[in-house]
Amino acid sequence: MTGQFAGFLVLSITAHPAIIPDGPVWREIAGSFSGVGLLVHDFIGRSVQEHEIRMLALSLGFSTALKWVFLQYVCWACQIEFICGVGVSVWREFNPIEVSESGVYSGRLCCAYG
């Protein structure tokens, strides 16, 4: 069985944008961290360019957030097959991190996101 995700996790964003493009689903999160999650259905199953991610983040007001990350991943039989992360940590951008080697992804993304 395959599972896929493409979307943003944003730490401490305070304002819901006035306009969200058709498709993405906005959810406030108050469990493991305080912020929002944004599922982007249009990005699932395709290769997303970094400029598309950063333009969408900017249009949604994420530039005011201390930290945000865009994650895209594919799981097969409960194993992560591919993961890509792009984002900002303490207003410092980090470039796309793409990993398809099992067991290597978590450390790289955690170090980048802080």
pLDDT in tens, 63-80: 778 888 898 888 887 777
Q: Which band of pLDDT confidence, cut at 50, 70 and 90, is reported for residue 99?
A: low
- Could you tell me which residue, 22 or 66, shows the higher pLDDT? 66
Per-residue pLDDT, 107: 46
From CA 67, how far away is CA 87, in angstroms rounded?
Answer: 7
H or E stretch covering 38: strand 34-39
How deeply is 72 buried, as exposed, middle or buried, from its count of CB atoms within 10 A (0-12, 13-18, 19+)? buried
Per-residue pLDDT, 114: 45
pLDDT at residue 48 tops 80: yes
Closest CA to 65 of 15, 107, 25, 106: 15
